[in-house]
Chain A
Amino acid sequence: EDQVTQSPEALRLQEGESSSLNCSYTVSGLRGLFWYRQDPGKGPEFLFTLYSAGEEKEKERLKATLTKKESFLHITAPKPEDSATYLCAVDGNNRLAFGKGNQVVVIP
Chain B
Amino acid sequence: DVQMTQSPSSLSASVGDRVTISCRSSQNIEKYLHWYQQKPGKAPKLLIYSASRLESGVPSRFSGSGSGTDFTLTISGLQPEDFATYYCQQSYKNPFTFGPGTKVDIK
The yes or no verdict on A and B being binding partners is no
